[in-house]
């Protein structure tokens, strides 16, 4: 997953079932900085902009 997150498979048997736990493998500040730079270079898609508008 590009070294951003790690996934661990868990199995709690029949009662709990199988599921995955995800954990961030990257410093959150570095990740947010990279995302900010990406948005500056690429821009924001219409779908993302709609979600941003709805969350305000």
Domain residue ranges in the chain: 5-55
Q: Is 17 helix (H, G, I), strand (E, B) or coil?
A: coil
* CB atoms near residue 54 (< 10 Å): 7
| pLDDT tens readout for residues 11-43 | 988 887 899 999 999 899 998 998 889 888 988
What is the pTM for the complete model shown? 0.52
Convert 22-44 to b/e letters by CB count within 10 Å (16 or more is b).
eeeeeeeeeeeeeeeeeeeeeee
Please check whether residue 4 is in contact with residue 24, taking contact to mean a CB–CB distance below 8 angstroms. Answer: yes
pLDDT at 1 over 60: no
Look up tokens 């898609």; give the residue: 45
Pairwise CA distance, residues 2 & 25, whole Å: 10
């Amino acid at each position: 997953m590009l070294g951003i997150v790690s996934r661990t498979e868990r199995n709690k048997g029949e009662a709990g079932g199988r599921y995955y736990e995800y954990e961030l493998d990257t410093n959150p500040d570095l990740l947010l900085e990279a995302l900010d730079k990406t948005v500056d270079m690429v821009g924001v898609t219409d779908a993302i902009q709609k979600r941003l508008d709805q969350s305000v």
